[in-house]
A and B are shown apart, each in its own frame.
Chain A
Amino acid sequence: MERHEDIALMAHLMRRAGFGADRDELERLVDQGYEETVEQLVNPTDDIPPADDLLLYRYIPATETGGPNPMPGAANWLYNMVNTHRHLEEKTTLFWHQVFATGNSKVDNDNHLTAQVQMFRKHGMGNYRDLLIRVAQNPAMIFWLDNNENHKRAPNENWGRELLELFSLGVGNYTEEDVFECARAFTGWTINAKIPRQPYHRFSWSYTFRPEEHDFGQKTFLGHTGNFDGEDIIDIILQQPACARFVTRHLYNFFVADEAQVPAWDIEPPRDPDAIDYLSKIFVDSGFELKPVLKAIFLSDFFKEAMYQKVKSPAEVVVGTLRLTGDMKGPDKRLMEMGQQTNYMGQSLHDPPSVEGWQTGRDWINSGSVVKRINFVADHVSNPDLPGVQSIVRRVAKNGAQITPDALVDRCVELIGPLEISDDTRGELLAHAEDEGPISYATDVEYAELSRRVGDMLALIAATVEYQFG
């Protein structure tokens, strides 16, 4: 039983700090140890490979294109999520896309969305101050929040406001005057556009500072007065106690358990105030480094006790299923279509509904998305041609030549999760298994029948309420 608990905890860690792992990997990681695994996730050494983008571009060159269409970029990212071995790096990338939500619906220049995602991949587990500056100077973000329209004589507050409201402090921790002064400090942080080489292609952007557009005058921001520029503003933001609390609450919401929706955070207290206190202190003490906070999360009791306390996002459903079943490894030809699956479930990568990102938790679920989720998972886990499914069938069939309905249910629930299910749910699964009688697998014909029945059972489990949580 100890083994079961170790596996369950490791599966929880890999679902949250990554996109799940198959049973072979879970067993290997349990042998390696929990703390060692956390260390490897947080500080992946250079020999742990990311997905091979060059291989992708060699076989599916369209995933390098962009412009108005976010689909190639979504496919590109899906490939990375499915194929990387640097799990937490990729998951943190998704985290920042949710926080610094930027959409190609307006950016209309998808290569720059991909560049932003790559920036998150490279720097997302580094220093938060450094990251904020990179975001402030990111061409897609500058265009998305109109900072290219933020001029000395005609300030545009869009970036200044969202920096405070959504990216660092949260509503209630600044005044309208602070928004205006913040915007002034970022005047002149803009983009250069290089003329495209082909008709209908998009301009290639790069960050540039234009002194003639910058307001060098005195500003008063959050009680400080001086001739501030954007970096000074970010330093003042970091001094606010609200900042560390806001960022760690985001981390808690993404990695630990579903919180209220972000706009309600100035009204609703955190789900676990002690956890936020604890993580904020680590964040501040480390000089706003993300790795110590991530490590503290995964080693904490509140994390270990939060199994299945989050509704899986569409990206987690799709990538988790592909990883479990061993589908879509490498530059698969179906990548473009597969990259749209999260969109069908309500999460269009590169195209969040607004700068507030997606509404998460129960809001992932509606009667349309539920059909897509269940069918996608069920079609995969019941496909006996997929290597991950074959591996599950082999494990179900180990020891002996037959299996009781009871054991079939238990093994399937164990191998797809391990999942925690209610007695009622288990009752239904068992009744289904019993309907079809005992199962032996002494012959090839019987083994094929077992495959089918395991597939059906996994599909049934995929449809349970419990399986929608990760």
Chain B
Amino acid sequence: MTSIETPPVVVVLQLTGGNDYFNSVIPYTDSNYYDNRRSALQIAQDDVLRLDDKLGLHPTMGPLQEIYQQGDMAIIHGVGYQNSPRSHFRSMDIWHTCEPDIVGTEGWVGRIIRDLDPRGENPVTGVNIGQALPRALVVPGVSVASVADLSTYGLLTNIEEEARRTKILERFSNMYGQAIGTGAVKEYLGRTGLDAMKGADILKEGLSRYSSSIEYASDAIAKSLRDVAMIHTADVGTRVFYTQHGSFDTHASQPAVFDKLWTEVSNAISDFWADLREHDADDNVLMFLFSEFGRRVRDNGSGTDHGAAGACFAIGPSVAGGMHSEYPQTRSEALEQGDLAPNLDFRGVYSTILEDWLGLDAVPIVNGHFEKPGFVAA
């Protein structure tokens, strides 16, 4: 745990679709990277953004190189789990529920929210920015505010005339209040309705107070992270944010797609942290990036197919910047079905966040004990 006074906050950014680890964090002195397996995609040594004498970032990740050089970014290598099915949906499910062998029903982030706010007192303890609720946040009985777009979040936002809408919402509020005491399920519905309205009001108020000199780009991840910054700086008690960007499923035309995505993500992250610093609200935040798997070492001519091990990134003033765990072996014989082989279980990475950052007991959340990489500063 760090010695911060405000409660720690986590921002999870999911890189949906399987990010190409081998071309994100590039072993630029490794001849295995420059052999004929990657001829369509490999980045010339001079173009790699160097982090140390072995590894560098893809040229589109300039803002992340800066963050790394300031010591605010940890790169966790070779993350995955045994017998990767190399299926997006199954893989994502495993990351979401921490259950590689059976189909799990509780999401790890939902469990965090339940632990942080066991009585469900704050309807915005957990906030998802996106349309559907990822399974990571789903636990029966745990409320999560799921916001597709903060500027239009709430009930009946299609009614443009504000006075009319306010009047109708007052009626809702009265009706939900009256449901209290009318039987278990109705009462629960009424309370949930009130919670939803309260959550929307809290977020809306936060939105109205927000002002910033940072000009975010107009792409989806920039908007999502700006929404996160707005809610976080409003200080409404949100402890876990979840959002995603994609699709990193670059089977074809990888250079174009991958470059665009990482340009967007890198800039959005950089703007996000600048925004938090401007509001003096960065100290208690840790950002965590993951993808459901890495991609195949050998390219297919214009892209890459599904792989196994990937990298996770942790960003923020409280992370122990630098490299953690080992970059997987790149020799052909060391690959697992042609893919970089995982050497660190993702549940250990979660455990670091849970125990060393949030101060929670990781075991019941990730379903066991796993080796923890030490990427949170002591």
Residues of A that sit less than 8 Å from B by CB: 68, 70, 103-106, 108, 200, 258, 311, 340, 343-344, 346, 348, 351, 353-356, 359, 361-363, 365-368, 370-372, 374-375, 378-379, 382, 422, 424-425, 428-429, 431-432, 435, 456, 459-460, 463-465, 468
| 9-residue interface stretch from B68-76, B83-91, B270-278 | B83-91
Q: Are B175 and A464 in contact (CB under 8 A)?
A: yes
What are 12 of the A-B contact pairs (CB < 8 Å)?
A105-B89, A108-B87, A344-B133, A366-B144, A367-B196, A368-B146, A370-B192, A370-B193, A371-B155, A378-B156, A431-B171, A468-B189
Give the nearest-CB partner of A104 in chain B: B89
Give the nearest-CB partner of A353 in chain B: B105
Determine the distance from Cα of A355 to Cα of B103 in the docked complex, in whole angstroms.
8
Determine the distance from Cα of A311 to Cα of B190 in the docked complex, in whole angstroms.
13
Q: Are A366 and B103 in contact (CB under 8 A)?
A: no
Q: Are A374 and B176 in contact (CB under 8 A)?
A: no
Closest 6 pairs between A and B when the two form their complex, measured CB to CB: A368-B146, A424-B178, A367-B143, A367-B196, A105-B89, A367-B195
Q: Are B157 and A375 in contact (CB under 8 A)?
A: yes
Contact of A340 among B132, B176, B188 (CB under 8 A): B132
Give the nearest-CB partner of A105 in chain B: B89
Q: Are B133 and A368 in contact (CB under 8 A)?
A: yes
What A residues does B192 contact at CB under 8 A? Answer: 365-367, 370
Within 8 A of A (CB), among B95-148: 103-105, 123, 128, 131-133, 135, 138, 140-146
What B residues does A372 contact at CB under 8 A? Answer: 146
What A residues does B132 contact at CB under 8 A? Answer: 340, 343-344, 348
| 9-residue interface stretch from B25-33, B53-61, B179-187, B341-349 | B179-187
What A residues does B200 contact at CB under 8 A? Answer: 371
Q: Are B140 and A363 in contact (CB under 8 A)?
A: yes
Q: Are A422 and B156 in contact (CB under 8 A)?
A: no
Q: Are A105 and B90 in contact (CB under 8 A)?
A: yes
Q: Are B140 and A428 in contact (CB under 8 A)?
A: no
Decide if B199 is an interface residue (CB 8 Å cutoff).
Answer: yes
Q: Are A460 and B168 in contact (CB under 8 A)?
A: yes
Size of B's binding interface in residues, CB under 8 A? 55
What A residues does B209 contact at CB under 8 A? Answer: none
Give the nearest-CB partner of A70 in chain B: B89
Determine the distance from Cα of A343 to Cα of B176 in the docked complex, in whole angstroms.
25
Give the nearest-CB partner of A457 in chain B: B168
Determine the distance from Cα of A365 to Cα of B135 in the docked complex, in whole angstroms.
16
Q: Are B128 and A422 in contact (CB under 8 A)?
A: no
Q: Are A428 and B175 in contact (CB under 8 A)?
A: yes
Task: Given contacts A105-B103, A368-B133, list 8 more A-B pairs with CB under 8 A.
Answer: A106-B87, A343-B132, A351-B89, A368-B196, A370-B193, A425-B178, A459-B168, A460-B168
Determine the distance from Cα of A382 to Cα of B145 in the docked complex, in whole angstroms.
25
Would A367 and B123 be within 8 Å (CB), given that A105-B103, A343-B132, A353-B138 are in contact?
A: yes
Decide if B339 is an interface residue (CB 8 Å cutoff).
Answer: no
What B residues does A351 contact at CB under 8 A? Answer: 89
User: 0/1 per residue, B185-227, Cβ < 8 Å to A?
Assistant: 1101110110110011000000000000000000000000000
Would A459 and B156 be within 8 Å (CB), given that A106-B90, A368-B133, A368-B146 are in contact?
A: yes
What A residues does B89 contact at CB under 8 A? Answer: 68, 70, 104-106, 108, 351
What A residues does B174 contact at CB under 8 A? Answer: 428
Determine the distance from Cα of A60 to Cα of B155 in the docked complex, in whole angstroms.
32
What A residues does B176 contact at CB under 8 A? Answer: 465
Decide if B356 is an interface residue (CB 8 Å cutoff).
Answer: no
Would A375 and B158 be within 8 Å (CB), given that A346-B133, A354-B103, A465-B179 are in contact?
A: yes
Q: Are A353 and B135 in contact (CB under 8 A)?
A: yes
Q: Are A361 and B185 in contact (CB under 8 A)?
A: yes
What B residues does A359 contact at CB under 8 A? Answer: 140
What B residues does A361 contact at CB under 8 A? Answer: 185
What B residues does A258 contact at CB under 8 A? Answer: 185
CB distance from A150 to the nearest CB of B (A): 16
Determine the distance from Cα of A322 to Cα of B103 in the docked complex, in whole angstroms.
32
Contact of B167 among A378, A435, A463 (CB under 8 A): A435
What B residues does A435 contact at CB under 8 A? Answer: 167
What B residues does A378 contact at CB under 8 A? Answer: 155-156, 158
What A residues does B153 contact at CB under 8 A? Answer: 371
Q: Are B189 and A428 in contact (CB under 8 A)?
A: no
Contact of A375 among B156, B175, B186, B251 (CB under 8 A): B156
What A residues does B141 contact at CB under 8 A? Answer: 363, 366
Q: Are A106 and B196 in contact (CB under 8 A)?
A: no
What A residues does B184 contact at CB under 8 A? Answer: 362
Q: Are B168 and A432 in contact (CB under 8 A)?
A: yes
Would A368 and B143 be within 8 Å (CB), given that A351-B89, A424-B178, A465-B190 are in contact?
A: yes
Determine the distance from Cα of A381 to Cα of B184 in the docked complex, in whole angstroms.
28
Decide if B317 is an interface residue (CB 8 Å cutoff).
Answer: no
Decide if B310 is an interface residue (CB 8 Å cutoff).
Answer: no
What A residues does B104 contact at CB under 8 A? Answer: 354
What B residues does A355 contact at CB under 8 A? Answer: 103
Give the nearest-CB partner of A359 in chain B: B140
Decide if B93 is an interface residue (CB 8 Å cutoff).
Answer: yes
Determine the distance from Cα of A284 to Cα of B160 in the docked complex, in whole angstroms.
58
CB distance from A45 to the nearest CB of B (A): 38
Determine the distance from Cα of A363 to Cα of B141 in the docked complex, in whole angstroms.
7
Decide if B154 is an interface residue (CB 8 Å cutoff).
Answer: yes
Decide if B313 is an interface residue (CB 8 Å cutoff).
Answer: no
Contact of A465 among B158, B159, B186, B199 (CB under 8 A): B186
Decide if B370 is an interface residue (CB 8 Å cutoff).
Answer: no
Decide if B34 is an interface residue (CB 8 Å cutoff).
Answer: no
Q: Are A366 and B175 in contact (CB under 8 A)?
A: no
What A residues does B123 contact at CB under 8 A? Answer: 367
Determine the distance from Cα of A351 to Cα of B133 in the docked complex, in whole angstroms.
13
Q: Are B189 and A463 in contact (CB under 8 A)?
A: no
What B residues does A104 contact at CB under 8 A? Answer: 89
CB distance from B199 to the nearest CB of A (A): 6
What B residues does A463 contact at CB under 8 A? Answer: 155-156, 172, 175, 193
CB distance from A202 to the nearest CB of B (A): 10
Determine the distance from Cα of A343 to Cα of B146 in the docked complex, in whole angstroms.
13
CB distance from B176 to the nearest CB of A (A): 7
What A residues does B168 contact at CB under 8 A? Answer: 432, 456, 459-460
Determine the distance from Cα of A435 to Cα of B167 in the docked complex, in whole angstroms.
10
What B residues does A374 contact at CB under 8 A? Answer: 155-156, 193
CB distance from A365 to the nearest CB of B (A): 5
What B residues does A353 contact at CB under 8 A? Answer: 103, 105, 135, 138
What A residues does B103 contact at CB under 8 A? Answer: 103, 105-106, 353-355
CB distance from B33 to the nearest CB of A (A): 25
Q: Are B143 and A366 in contact (CB under 8 A)?
A: yes
CB distance from A108 to the nearest CB of B (A): 4
Would A379 and B140 be within 8 Å (CB), given that A340-B131, A340-B132, A368-B146 are in contact?
A: no
Q: Are A68 and B155 in contact (CB under 8 A)?
A: no
CB distance from B253 to the nearest CB of A (A): 14
Q: Are B188 and A428 in contact (CB under 8 A)?
A: no
Determine the distance from Cα of A361 to Cα of B185 in the docked complex, in whole angstroms.
9
What B residues does A356 contact at CB under 8 A? Answer: 105
Q: Are A371 and B146 in contact (CB under 8 A)?
A: yes
Determine the distance from Cα of A346 to Cα of B184 in the docked complex, in whole angstroms.
21
Determine the distance from Cα of A353 to Cα of B96 in the docked complex, in whole angstroms.
11
Determine the distance from Cα of A231 to Cα of B265 in the docked complex, in whole angstroms.
55
Determine the distance from Cα of A414 to Cα of B222 in the docked complex, in whole angstroms.
46
What B residues does A456 contact at CB under 8 A? Answer: 164, 168
Give the nearest-CB partner of A258 in chain B: B185
Determine the distance from Cα of A428 to Cα of B168 in the docked complex, in whole angstroms.
10
Determine the distance from Cα of A343 to Cα of B89 in the docked complex, in whole angstroms.
14
Would A465 and B105 be within 8 Å (CB), given that A375-B156, A378-B156, A460-B171 are in contact?
A: no
